[in-house]
Amino acid sequence: MNGPMIKTVIESKIEAKNIKTIFFESNEKTIPGQFFIIWIPNVDEIPMSVSYIDKKIKGITFRKVGEATNALFKFKKGDKIGVRGPYGNGFKIKGKSILFVGGGTGIGMLAPAVEEAIHKNILSTVILGVKNKKELFFENRFRKCGAEIYVSTDDGSKGYKGFASDLAKKFLSGNSFDSILTCGPEVMMKKLLDLSKNIPFQASLERYMKCGIGICGQCCIGEGLRVCKDGPVFDGKTLKKARDFSVYKRDAAGRKVKF
């Protein structure tokens, strides 16, 4: 290790309104659910889950939400970014039938997980929850890989009208899944955890991060669980014990911020 690796953006692609994917060369072995820390020179450095995994190329998919993502949104082929990682644990993808639930930009990092599940011949049911149809992305990618796709929108502009967790509830009553894998707003993931009962559950969390290597403590939840190192994917058993799950996160100063 000698600091972040400087990578050239090899392609950037608009996925939906305000949502973009950036591709860069990376030979690092990466598993779905892991993340990179992306340095946008002169602006910021932020963690981003991997959304494309190829042997030699990796991708990150993000929404314009703040200073860093606004800056990164302007990046195009040939621009340079710094990359650290991959970091974190990633999903454990096993069983015969998995229910995937992605909410908002959380959909992006679920895509390689679903692709791996299909590759392992696991029956994959995917719920994609967004506010409205303009924010939906990766739908075709999921369909093409052979997953069963259902869409929910808050405003009913496409698919089921309501929250992804409500749609998931319907599926959980009539089907048997070996596992539930989710990424999205923490309140949604908490609802899913409550619904999951005895089904093994894995959720990918997001926290403000600084070091990414498990020493600074900025991103800890529960009893010293480092989202960057022990996570970002935690199982249901662990999350049930973490009092802050879906309750609060911490800002850069370490102050509690309620969800």
Partner 1 sequence: MDEDSGSMKRVAGCGAGAIVTKSIGLKPREGYPNPTIIELECGILNAMGLPSPGIKEYGEEIRKFKSLKIPLIGSIFGSNSKEFVELSRKMQEYGADAVELNMSCPHAKGYGLEIGSDTNLVKEITSKAKSSVDLPVFVKLSSNVSDLKDIAKAAEKGGADGIVAINTVKAMKISLELRKPVLANKIGGYSGKAIKPIGVRCVYEIAETVDIPIIGVGGITTGEDALEYIMAGASAIQIGTGIYYRELDVFRKICREIEGWMKKHSVKKLSNLVGAAHV
The footprint of partner 1 (CB under 8 A) covers 1-4, 6, 39, 41, 44-46, 80, 82, 84, 210-218, 220-226, 250-256
In the bound state with partner 1, the residue whose beta carbon lies nearer, of 131 and 256, is 256
* Residue 63 CA: distances (Å) to CA of 35, 108, 139, 238: 16, 10, 16, 29
The CB-of-142 to partner 1 minimum distance in angstroms stands at 32
Residue 97 in tokens: 């039938």
In the bound state with partner 1, the residue whose beta carbon lies nearer, of 44 and 166, is 44
Residue corresponding to tokens 């290597």: 213
The CB-of-215 to partner 1 minimum distance in angstroms stands at 5
In single-letter form, the type of residue at position 21 comes to T
The CB-of-223 to partner 1 minimum distance in angstroms stands at 5
* Residue 171 CA: distances (Å) to CA of 56, 78, 107, 180: 37, 44, 18, 11
The CB-of-82 to partner 1 minimum distance in angstroms stands at 7
In the bound state with partner 1, the residue whose beta carbon lies nearer, of 25 and 45, is 45
The CB-of-35 to partner 1 minimum distance in angstroms stands at 14
In the bound state with partner 1, the residue whose beta carbon lies nearer, of 76 and 256, is 256
Contact 236, 194 (CB under 8 A): no
Half-sphere exposure of 203 (CA within 13 A, CB side): 24
Cα 113 to Cα 115: distance, rounded to the nearest angstrom: 5
In the bound state with partner 1, the residue whose beta carbon lies nearer, of 140 and 253, is 253
Burial class of residue 175, CB neighbours in 10 A (0-12, 13-18, 19+): exposed
